[in-house]
Structures are given as C-alpha cells and as structure tokens.
A and B are shown apart, each in its own frame.
Chain A
Amino acid sequence: MSANFYYGIEVFLNGLMAGVMYSLVALGFVLIFKASGIFNYAQGVMALFAALCLVGFQSGQIPFSHVINATFGTDIHHFGWHMPAFFAIILTLMMMILFAFLVEKFLLKHLVNQEPIILFMATIGLAYFMEGFGDLMWGSDIKKLDVGIPQGGNIWLETNTAFLGGPDFYGFYIDNLDIWATIFAAILVIALILFSQYTKTGRALRAVADDHQAALSVGISLRTIWVIVWSIAGFVALVAGIMWGSKSGVQFSLSLIALKALPVLMLGGFTSIPGAIIGGLIIGVGEKMFEFLIGAPFLGGATENWFAYMLALLFLVFRPQGLFGEKIIERV
C-alpha cells in the first residue's frame, strides 16, 4: 500500500478528532435549542469567554485592568499569584453558571413567546456583547492556555504504526490533545445522556423540548430549566474552550468555532444529540479529506472554510429533515 493511503488514513483520524471538537460545540447548541427553542449563536463566544476567564484566573490577571489603566492612568495587571488549574476551572464554571443566570434574568425572561428569529437575533446581540465584554475584562491579546493536558504528537502511536507503510511513511501523527479531547467529549456526552435519562431535571428538560406546558406539569418552572440548560451549555462551552484554547491559544478567533458547529447542526438536526455527534464526525472527516484529496492539490487549499457548509447544504436539499429527524407530514 502506498504511503499516501496511510496519510489518507491519518488525515481521516485527525478528521475524526476535529469532528469531536465540532460535536462538542454543536452539543451546546442542541441542548439550548431543545430546551428553549433558541438558536444560540453565542455558543462559540461562550467558549471563548470561558477560556478567557480560565486563563485569567489561572494567571491571576486583574479583570478590566486595561479599562482601569486607561481611565485612571494606573498601571496594574496581575495579582501576582497563580491558581491551580482545577480551582480555576471550578471558578470558571461558577462564572458560567452566574452568566446563565444573568442571561435568563435580563434577556430570556423578557423574550418569552417571541418569534424564534427574534430570539436568534438576540443571541447574536449577546454574542457581540460577550465578545466585547470578554476583551474588556481580560484584554484581547493572544493567551496560552495550559491545564496540564499533554500536547504534541503521540509518540507511541507513531512508532508503533510506522511499519504499516513503506519507507516514506513514519506512522500516524496524532496529537495527544485530540485524543484527550475525544475522551473528554465521550465522557461528557455519556454524562449528559445519563443526566437527561435518569434525573428528574433531565426528564423535565426533555419534556420542555416537547412542549412547555408539560415541563410545568413536571413541577419545574420554565425559567429554572432555562438557567440549568444555559449552565450546562456553559459547561460544554468551557470544555470546548479548554480543548480549542490549549490547541490554538485563546483569542478572538476561538469564537469562530461556533461557525464550525453550524453545519454540524444542519446535518444532525438542531434537536438531536446523537445527530450533533455523528454530524460532527462526518463534517470533521469530510472537510479534512476534501482538503487532502481535492482542496489542497487542485483548489489552492483553505477549503475548510466553506466545505462543511456546502456539504450540509447539499445534504439538506435532499433530506430537509436532517440526519435523524423523521419525515415531516405537512398539514393544513
């Protein structure tokens, strides 16, 4: 077999890994959409925000230091201590829960019974707001995020697969981070499924997805449910933020992973958790393979930007209900 074939496989594996990342973000979307019918464009920014906070806490950065300096001419930056990753993560998580609470209190509460499109717009507004806010709080410079997840190529795998190909194949290069990400993602997904299957709240969440009245009958107010959902979404965002952050640094571009997740949603459907995962994988693999086989050689590369969308688009044209949605019978 030619080396290229194995490189192909390597690309495939990396695609899977990337796909997992996509699924992670997509998951956040799905959770919120299921529970509140809101298409939360801010999901990506939430990841960025989470990552920023995490770094900030770890490195003991003073929030809003830039603003303070700019206004009062002071020159403060750090508290001067470093916080262990674990506590920082807990702190950030609290941050995200607080955030969820605020969002419900100041935004969602006032937008009940609005058309979906309006809610969608609101989340775009929210995204803008948080992006600016995050930068004001922590500054917009690129930060390195390290919570102790091993990085760099996985030597073991590389050495032990080198034999497969010919002389010019050196084994699969796969980043440890991606492997860990996959593991975390898997755990997260399982946890979520267990949660929604076996806990009262979880069942309530599922009920809300079907209809809001039902949720109330379960005895949990819509508003609490929203807070919970957004907190979970925040948690998912945090995980995603950590992974992407440690991979490519924490900066504005991180928020763009949201855009990566959208085609996944189209593929998997806005309401299906498995859809989000499978969709993510398909997109991940698809765009990597397309770039490897067609994009790079013939189209001058950088096709990842749009391939996912085109794929989803074409797919939808032929199957409008998405991967897991059942056929829609239109009634009048």
Chain B
Amino acid sequence: MLYREAGDFKTTYAKDQQTFPIAFDRWGYFIMLALAFIVGPMIINDYWLNAVVLPFLIYAIAALGLNILTGYCGQVSLGTGGFMAVGAYASYKLMTSFPDLSIIIVVLLSGGVTALVGILFGLPSLRIKGFYLAVATLAAQFFLVWLFNKVPWFYNYSASGQISAPERSVFGYAISGANALPHVSYLFCLSFVVVLAWGARNLTRGANGRKWMAIRDMDIAAEIIGVDPLKTKLTAFAVSSFYIGISGALLFAVYLGAAEVGEAFGITKSFLVLFMIIIGGLGSIFGSFAGAAFMVLMPVLLKNIFVGQMGWPTDLAAHMEFVIVGGLIMLFLILEPHGLAALWRTAKEKLRLWPFPH
C-alpha cells in the first residue's frame, strides 16, 4: 500500500544487488538508524536499558551468529552457551592480563578466540550430520562449561569461581564496571550490532552465503559443483562463533558485569538463542533481530503481568513463563515454521501488490 515502485529501476548490478533495492525500504532503514543513534541515547533509561535494550542488542548478535551457522549453513548447533562462555572468559582474561588494551580490541579478540574454538568443534561436522551433529555440539556446551568451572586459571583463582569485569572505557566514557552510564553502553553495543549485522548481510548475500546455502540445501550437489564442504562448514563455524563470542563478551563485560559460567552460559542459553532464530526465522538477518526482540520482551511482559498485576510469587510466574514460552514456540512452528521473518515477507509482498490480493 505504501510502496510506489514505478520508476524505481536499476541501471547497474551494484544497485540491483544492494541490501534494500526498494527506495522505500532503504529510507525506512536509514531513518531507523538515525532514530537509534540520535534519539535513542536521549530517551534511554536504566530500567529499559537493562531489562530490554541491552539484552536485545547483545542477543541479537548471538542470534545473527547462530543464524549464520544454522539458518544459512544448515548446521544445527546447541553449543551457543558454551561459545558465549568462551567469548566472556576470553574477554575477562584479556582485560585482566592487558589492562591498557582498548575494550573494542578486547571484544574483537574475544570473538577471534571463540572463532578458533568454533573451528575446533566444527571439525566433526564434515562427517557427522543432522541431529547427530546437533547432539555433538552439546559436547562443546558441556565440556566448555566444565572447563571454565574446573580450571581456576580461567577465573584467576577467585574464591567465588566468578569472573567480574573491571572498569574499561571508550573515549573516556566507562562502558563496563560500576560507573558505566546507560546511554554509553547502549551506544557501544548498538555500534557493534550495526556493524556486525551489516557484515553478516554482506557475507550472506555474496559468494560465501551461496556456498553456505548450497551446503544447507543439498550438500552432495554442492560438493559436486565445486564447493569444498569442510572449508565452507568451517568458515560458517568460525564466523558464527566470532559473532557469538562477541555477544558473550558484551554480555559479560557490559551487561552482567560478573558471571558464573554455570548459570550465565548454561545449556538454557543455547536454547534461548536457538528459539530466537526459530521464532525470528532461519536464514534471515531480520529474523535474528525479530527473534531476539521477541524472546527478550516476552518474559518482561509476562513478569509484569503475573508478578506485577496478579501478584503471584516469582517462582510460580517463572513456571508460567516456561509454559507460555514453550506453548508459543509450538504455536509458532505450527502457524509459521519460517518465523517472524516469513510473516514480515508476506506482509511486505501484500503491501507491494496492494490493492490486489495476489
């Protein structure tokens, strides 16, 4: 209905292949960015930041990462929590061992470290496929968590076995530690999200993306037309882990501040992120965001309803949340197996054809 595409035509392949080929979308995107960067910081407050915005941004990165591996390359992974832990502990070790190292570098390096670990656990994917691989990734999950638990070196022999983020700052603004200001950490994470999302989009629309999808859709055919399965899968694992590692680092350094591997990066995290991409939509950048938003907002909402409105004890509310989350996931898979992204796509198609139904 809103689209006016007549006369919006492409004279070069570069224009034809851009992310938002339709001018209307392009403008919408830029306006949103502007709002996020300019208006966002003004209105952001502690409650929203910690309850919704930060988790959303950080999990969006993880979701992007997992979506690259599972949604684009078709390798189901249940090890996300473990890889986030790698990111978190890497950043912790880096921050504590090199106090002067810029936090930005730290975060990126943490991603790099995670990528390496990812490659390691990705190796079996050449021979193990489908569910077997999914289960195999649990090995990573459990082993890594156990590792960070059992080896004191990782948590600098602290008595509690916890890790806690020292204060670090960018351009003189504290973004981790006690004195971090909401809008600063907001902008910090936002920048990461934007850059990484952009990168993910580029990777998935180009040669790499096609390799990944080829492997996903029909690995044998892919190999026969010249796609090296191992190399391709490993890139997917590496890139995906890089993203997940970064989100782990941010989750720990910027959001949590202190973490104990068991409950911060347990298997439930793996499932949380998995749900995000299922509900959001496999193989879709937009889906990663939609899913993250959904999975972050819903609990907040439910909490407000049951605890806030109905005055239930929190444990009951928690159980109720389980019921509803589980129910919603089933509902979603029944109604729209391809997630919010697919809903969005159909809606958009309808708008473009409006007033015609098809």
Given A66-B316, A129-B327, A317-B128 contact (CB < 8 Å): yes
Chain B, 300-358, CB within 8 A of any chain A CB: 310-313, 315-316, 318-330, 333-334, 337
Q: Does B138 contact A (CB under 8 A)?
A: yes
Q: Are B320 and A136 in contact (CB under 8 A)?
A: yes
Residue of A nearest to B136 (CB): A313
A129-B330 in contact (CB<8A):
yes
Which secondary structure dominates where chain B touches chain A? helix
Q: Is the CB of A132 within 8 A of B136?
A: no
Q: Are A125 and B327 in contact (CB under 8 A)?
A: yes
In the complex, per-residue mask of B43-62: 1 if CB is within 8 Å of any chain A CB, else 0: 00000000000000000000
Q: Which residue of A128, A140, A259, A262 is within 8 Å of B326 (Cβ)?
A: A128
B4 part of interface (Cβ distance < 8 Å): no
Instruction: List A281-332 residues whose CB lies under 8 Å from chain B.
Output: 299-303, 305-306, 309-310, 312-313, 316-317, 320, 322, 330, 332
The answer to whether B321 and A132 touch across the interface, beta carbons within 8 angstroms, is: yes
Q: Is the CB of B136 within 8 A of A128?
A: no
Contact present for B224 and A332 (CB under 8 Å)? yes
Instruction: List CB contacts (< 8 Å) of A44-98 with chain B.
Output: 66-67, 70-71
Of A114-122, A168-176, A208-216, the one with at least 4 CB within 8 A of chain B? A114-122
Nearest-CB distance from A295 to chain B (Å)? 10
Task: Tell me if B221 is interfacial: C-beta within 8 Å of chain A.
Answer: yes
Q: Is the CB of A316 within 8 A of B329?
A: no
Residues of A within 8 A of B321 (CB): 132
- For A265, give the chain B residue with the smallest CB separation: B135
- Chain A interface residue count, CB cutoff 8 Å, equals 53
Closest-by-CB residue of B relative to A314 is B124
Given that A302-B150, A306-B142 are contacting pairs, would A136 and B323 also be in contact in the complex, using a CB cutoff of 8 Å?
Answer: yes
Contact B146 A118 (CB under 8 A): no
Q: A111-B334, A316-B132, A317-B128 are in contact. Are A303 and B146 (CB under 8 A)?
A: yes
B131 interface residue per 8 A CB criterion: yes
Inter-chain CA distance A332–B145, complex, in Å, is: 41
Contacting residue for B323 out of A118, A132, A263, A316, CB 8 A: A132
Q: Which A residues lie within 8 Å of B325 (CB)?
A: 125, 128-129, 132
Which residues of B (169-217) have their CB < 8 Å from a CB of A? none
Q: Does A135 contact B (CB under 8 A)?
A: yes
Query: A213 → chain B, closest Cβ, in Å?
Result: 23
Q: Which residue of B lies closest to A322 (CB)?
A: B132
Taken together as a complex, chains A and B put the C-alpha atoms of A124 and B319 apart, in Å, by: 16
**Contact A332/B221 with A111-B333, A120-B131, A121-B329 known, Cβ cut-off 8 Å:** yes
Whether, in the assembled complex, B134 has its beta carbon less than 8 Å from a beta carbon of chain A, the answer is: yes
Q: Are B134 and A120 in contact (CB under 8 A)?
A: yes
| Minimum distance in angstroms from B240 CB to a CB of chain A | 16
Give chain B residues whose Cβ lies under 8 Å from the Cβ of A67. 316
B136 near A71: Cβ-Cβ < 8 Å: no
Residues of A within 8 A of B76 (CB): 117, 120
Q: In the complex, what residues of B have CB within 8 A of residue A309's CB? A: 135-136, 138-139, 142-143
Instruction: Say whether B337 contacts A118, CB under 8 Å.
Output: yes
Q: Which residue of B lies closest to A301 (CB)?
A: B150
Question: Of all chain A residues, which has the CB nearest B322?
Answer: A132
Residues of A within 8 A of B128 (CB): 313, 316-317, 320
Of the candidates B130, B324, B330, the one whose C-beta lies within 8 Å of that of A116 is B130
Contact A114 B142 (CB under 8 A): no
Contact check, A305 vs B319: say whether CB atoms are below 8 A apart. no
Residues of B within 8 A of A250 (CB): none
Residues of A near B322 (CB, < 8 A) are: 128-129, 131-133, 135
Q: Which of B134, B150, B316, B330 has the most CB of A within 10 A?
A: B330
The answer to the question of A225 belonging to the interface, with a C-beta cut-off of 8 Å to chain B, is: no
CB pair B329 A124 closer than 8 Å = yes
Is the C-beta of B9 less than 8 angstroms from some C-beta in chain A? Answer: no
Q: In the complex the two chains form, what is the Cα distance from A70 to B313 in whole Å? A: 7
A192 within 8 A of B: no
Taking CB atoms, residues of chain B closer than 8 Å to A66 are 313, 316
- Residue from the set A128, A300, A303, A330 with the largest chain B CB neighbour count within 10 Å: A128
Given contacts A118-B333, A259-B267, A316-B127, contact A132 B319 (CB under 8 A): yes
A122 touches B138 (CB 8 A): no
- State the CA gap A130–B329 with chains docked (Å): 13
Complexed CA–CA distance, A114 and B220 (Å): 22
Query: Which residues in window 218-251 of B have CB below 8 A to A?
Result: 220-221, 224
Interface centre among A122, A136, A265, A330 (most CB of B within 10 A): A122
For the complex with contacts A120-B131, A306-B146, 15 further pairs of A-B residues with Cβ separation under 8 Å are A71-B310, A118-B337, A121-B275, A121-B329, A129-B322, A131-B326, A136-B320, A259-B267, A265-B135, A300-B150, A310-B143, A312-B135, A313-B128, A316-B127, A320-B127
A selection of 16 A-B contacts at a CB cut-off of 8 Å is: A70-B316, A71-B310, A120-B134, A122-B329, A122-B334, A125-B326, A132-B325, A135-B322, A259-B142, A262-B135, A266-B136, A303-B146, A306-B142, A309-B138, A312-B135, A332-B224
Residue ranges of B at the interface with A (Cβ–Cβ < 8 Å):
76, 124, 127-132, 134-136, 138-139, 142-143, 145-146, 149-150, 220-221, 224, 267, 271, 274-275, 278, 310-313, 315-316, 318-330, 333-334, 337
